[in-house]
Structure 1
Amino acid sequence: MSADQQVSRRVAVVTGASAGIGAATARRLAAEGFHVVLGARRVDRCRRVAEEIGGTALPLDVAEPASVRAFCERVPEVHVLVNNAGGALGLEPVAEADEENWRRMWESNVMGTLRMTKALLDRLVASGDGHVVTVTSIAALEVYDGGAGYTAAKHAQSALHRTLRGELLGRPVRFTEICPGMVETEFSLVRFGGDEDRASAVYQGLTPLTAEDVADTIAWAVTRPSHVNIDQIVLKPRDQHSVTRAHRS
């Protein structure tokens, strides 16, 4: 089935769907009966997931306006948009900030969410029961040493999402922000430039959330009755209290 064709099922678009939370969300929404359009730079990985769930995989780089336009032109109908693409780079203090990393984080987390939501908002409203889910982080609620670039981007992404909730009040579209704590995906591996030892140390001594935990939460939010808006969900491992405090055995 192509995203260019009319489909009888509700359509969900998931960004950053090549792995981790995005791929798990695509699988979970397909299980709920959605036709899922998966977008990511690593479109080969998206295709493997799409083949598994009967979805559609399209190339997408949310940091590139032309890529967003080309992707959205292939999606004539949409009911749910999951803004999941993003991520962190580096862990330097502000005095040593890498400005290029800051730009890349801002482009993927903030501008990517803006571009995708702008491009699909009219179609979400026209569906009569649209839903925008934005995956931010507990870093959208707290700050920590060395994390200013990522927390600044996530705070901004959260502000963008929460502003839309007010601007679209009275229209047939809902807005849900998902704020996960520690989730063991490729997140830390990307953040630390492929350093597997440093990435795995983040989760040592505790049981982190899985991508499937977050996907289940997203699926629950988007399958509530249409008059119910789940504004924000914060989910963490049992052993995590805050962005800086966790119990490790």
Structure 2
Amino acid sequence: MSRFFTFCVLALCSSLSWSQSLVVSTHPIYLIAEEITQGIEQPVLLLADQSGHDITLTPAHRKAIFDASLVIWLGKVHEAPLDKLLSNNPKAISILDSAIVQTLPQRNSRGMALNNTVDTHVWLDPNNAVRIGFFIAALRSQQYPEHRDAYWANAKRFAQEMFLSAQQYNTRLPSASYWSYHDAYQYLERALNLKFAGALTEDPHVAPTLAQIKYLNDNRPYPKMCLLAEAHASQNQYQKLKPIIFQAVDETMKGQGDFVEGWKALAAQTHSCVINTRK
């Protein structure tokens, strides 16, 4: 990790231009960057209305990257369409390639880990969110040492707020199982003491099979189950799993203006869903 960080700093410092803009690829990482740069600068969100998986690049995107002094993205695994623009760009740093976060493998719809894969929703783990915050503070402090104290103070404040929010759930929630439309929430599981009991599909763009619906019904841990899913999930795709409590959640925190508040909202929705299935 230390060698990679040293390489990042040298590459970034050698590529500084007149522009000081910090460009961040996706919304949740952008929210963390806002926490770290508060009172110093305003980061630029590259993919404001797009997910990392489905990206249409415009001249404005390319200009933002060209003008930036630092581009932070998750990496090719999460944002493959950005690979050609960013993988060999000395100003671009991939979080997933930096070894600063703890990663988990993807799982199939029945909960089995898939070899040589990475679940890229790393920001949902409070520890990872804090690591990302300190990483941004370190990189930006090296580029602009006159703001070092402010960056680090912001990172420490963010860490305190994040850990305090997560602590609220450490002893509140007994171990509970849940379903999801697709497996996108496993980085919440340790903080909320959850157990993954299966998903309807491994790909949110592919409809669930009858075999998988039967598997979930035959192996349901409780008579009533919590199902976490994006709001656009069709009721026709999960009505055969009733009784359930459907909870619309968005792991990308779209629409949120504050990372800690966004995480707390997601945690509260999930907590409420799983607790209500036990009543």
TM-score in terms of structure 2 length? 0.36
Structure with max Cα Rg = 2
TM-score in terms of structure 1 length? 0.39
Specify which structure has the bigger relative contact order, considering alpha-carbon pairs within 8 angstroms and separated by 6 or more residues. 1
